[in-house]
Structure 1
Amino acid sequence: MAVAGAGVAGSYLAFRLLDAGYAVDLYDLPAQTACGTAPCAWMATRDFSAVLEAEGFEPEKYVTARFDVFLLQGQRVGADLMTIDKPALVADLRGGAEVRTGPLDPAGYDRVIDATGTARACLPPIAADDLCRCVQFRVRDGSGEALPAVRYVRGGYAWSFPLGGGERHVGCLSHLADPVGLVGKTGFLDGERLCGCRGRLRVTSPYGALPFVSGNVWGVGEAIGCVYPLVGDGIVPALVSARLLLDHFDDPAGYTQAVLDAFPAMQQERTVLERMKDGRRPSPAWLAEVDTSRLGIRVGVASAAGLLLKMLAR
């Protein structure tokens, strides 16, 4: 068996399958970033702790800070968010699995798990795929700002998340424009830039990323669209989809249905995104279609949904 992709989902699956007695080869591309992980804000939502605990891991080992407030356009908003040490998490999820960097031939294995994220290297291409551009920097500024901050940009949002020690993760995603030209206007990049990277997010949703299984290849995580389209959070969905694959290991139809059933909110967000990318102005009727409960935003359901919609209505 082969697992392609040594991120959150791939590392976890390789470890679990090795532990279950399978012969597993774990493949990945050479590290393209200074931290050795795919571009990511290192921010997790409230379900992070419960998902890790269910898999036998101690979530507090990876949580660097918890936040019950963040700054949205400079205004304090209640939330339930946390920053995490993603490289440490991936390393522990992987256990002792060795990572190979050579080419992978799917025909040489009885099963291949495609955990290659936006590359979707082993599964068939998606007919109407949608990849959102993002950019991120690690910044040292000594400002002492202790709260996460978010600002609207054209077609998305920019963020500044404290990592401790005077450092922050600063990034931007946009569904409509190049984020590099947008993040600099926020003021978040003031300071010493320690590293930077660019990437893409699959915002197609699982409903638009079928098939999840093709021949001897099974997809997981972002390779099958398990990312919330509006905000782009995918760490928790990656782990959830990996568990579903293990639970339906010999039942491709059951696995496909389980993934679709697990993330109905992703399809709701995808529908909203498609409307706005078509140039339609947000309608009050759309607000109930956006579920922000995982973010813990405490400004009322309608108001929280409205905040997300404003990001894409500019």
Structure 2
Amino acid sequence: MKSIYLSLTVCSDIMKIAVVGIGVAGAYLMNQLSDLHDVHVQGFERMPEKEHDAVCAWATCDNVMRDYANICGLNFDNYVLHDGKKMRVDIGNGINSGNTIDIKLKGMISYDKLKLIQDMIRGTDIVFEKVPNKKNLEQDFDLIIDSTGFHRHYLPKLSDELWIPCIQYKVKYDQVPFDDFYLKAFPLLSGYFWYFPLGNGYAHIGSGDFRRKQTHVFMDSFMKKYPCEVIKKVGRPVRITPPSKCLPFDDGNKTIGVGESIGTVYALLGEGIIPSTICAQLFVDNLYDKEKYFSQVLSTFKIYTSVYNFIKKRISQNFNIIRDFVELLKIYKYMKKSEDRFGMEINMLNLFKLTKI
């Protein structure tokens, strides 16, 4: 059976593609698709160009993102802000409680996510401050890529999904409270507070909590204990529903989802930069074979369903270490095997400590 992509190119030598949402996945797609001789790609971003921002804590793994930056013709060294050595995960009560897990890092860094996105899209065709009408896009383009993240703007709405509201400040300290990464895990793994250094006294501090109980209380307490200048404040929800529960990945017509719009966030860490970039590369690799792209997304992110089930059970207080040990072990083995991808040492004892929060 012919691919829908192939059928679209029968009447024209050039495939016209619209990429809507210029975040991690959208920027990577613009960079890669713009180099193809048989594709004309145009991007659309709802934010004005001067206000275009990259929401999230800007932490990723150097071991992985270096390769993707290189594919885009960029040197990742130019974007690294802080090279992490140790992450302190606080599982006690209060701020810096002393009841902590210290995780050795092996490639986790904070980086200038916005600058990398801007350099990826430099020279590409993007219309800012616009979310086009879907019917207009369908008239003008052969293919529409929904990389709108949480909004999933052009795809069918999901009937059952899990998302966490998040808030983040970019701040400046005269005296930094921590010299490396710090996380405060909330009860029942409902979310966490983060402090990610950005260098020169700057940091991102933020919080996400499914129950919405801890976020503002802990943020206020932290900022009172460690006074700082607030440079910028952003907030948005993060979808932690995995790809297997974000079907369909298309609208049955011209729209295909890539990145967070189809669930590429690792729920245990709330991390979506690398998964969304991987998803974008899968799309590029399978540009002319939609079914193969869908299949590879489900296969690549299969473990995300186990992680989602684990988090959901913890939040609902339905997790049992004996009954659910096999699923927890599966997650541990995946992360242990992928230490270089996560940029940290994975320890089973630490995972057990987290499950008992």
Q: TM-score when scaled to structure 2?
A: 0.80
Q: Within 5 Å, which residues of 2 pair with 1:58-73?
A: 58-73=75-90
| Cα distance, 1:184 vs structure 2 | 2.5
Q: Does 1:290 align with 2:331?
A: yes
State which of 272, 276, 284 in structure 2 corresponds to 1:238.
276
State which of 27, 36, 41 in structure 2 corresponds to 1:20.
36
State which of 129, 144, 152 in structure 1 corresponds to 2:185.
152
Structure 1 counterpart of 2:109? 82
Counterpart of 1:169, as a letter, is H
**1:113–1:181 Cα change, 3 Å:** same
Q: Write out per-residue CA displacement over residues 175-198 of structure 1, whole angstroms, 9 at most, x where no aligned residue.
A: 222523332234576312111111
State which of 302, 305, 313 in structure 1 corresponds to 2:351.
305
- 3-state DSSP of counterpart to 2:283: helix
Q: Write out per-residue CA displacement over residues 157-212 of structure 1, whole angstroms, 9 at most, x where no aligned residue.
A: 11111111111110111122252333223457631211111111110011111111
Counterpart of 1:159, as a letter, is W
Return 5+ residue gaps in structure 2 as ranges. Answer: 1-16, 91-95
CA distance in 2, matches of 1:177, 1:203: 15
Relative to structure 2, which stretch is displaced further, 139-148 or 158-167? 139-148
CA distance in 1, matches of 2:353, 2:20: 37
Alignment check: 8 A CA contact 1:70 1:79 kept: yes
Q: Does 1:2 align with 2:18?
A: yes
| Cα distance, 1:153 vs structure 2 | 2.3
Q: Write out per-residue CA displacement over residues 102-160 of structure 1, whole angstroms, 9 at most, x where no aligned residue.
A: 34233222100000000101111112122211110011122243211111224211111
Q: Within 5 Å, which residues of 2 pair with 1:133-212?
A: 133-144=165-176, 145-154=178-187, 155-178=190-213, 179-186=215-222, 190-212=227-249
CA distance in 1, matches of 2:110, 2:199: 10
Relative to structure 2, which stretch is displaced further, 74-83 or 240-249? 74-83
Higher CA-based Rg:
2
Q: TM-score when scaled to structure 1?
A: 0.90
Return 5+ residue gaps in structure 1 as ranges. Answer: none
Counterpart of 2:117, as a letter, is V
CA distance in 1, matches of 2:161, 2:48: 25
Alignment check: 8 A CA contact 1:115 1:219 kept: yes
**1:307–1:228 Cα change, 3 Å:** farther
Relative to structure 2, which stretch is displaced further, 73-82 or 151-160? 73-82
Matched residues, percent identical? 25
**1:159–1:153 Cα change, 3 Å:** same
CA distance in 2, matches of 1:157, 1:119: 22
Q: Say what the alpha-carbon RMSD is for the aligned residues.
A: 2.2
CA distance in 2, matches of 1:213, 1:201: 20
CA distance in 1, matches of 2:305, 2:48: 31
Q: Write out per-residue CA displacement over residues 49-79 of structure 1, whole angstroms, 9 at most, x where no aligned residue.
A: 2343355432222111211212222543312
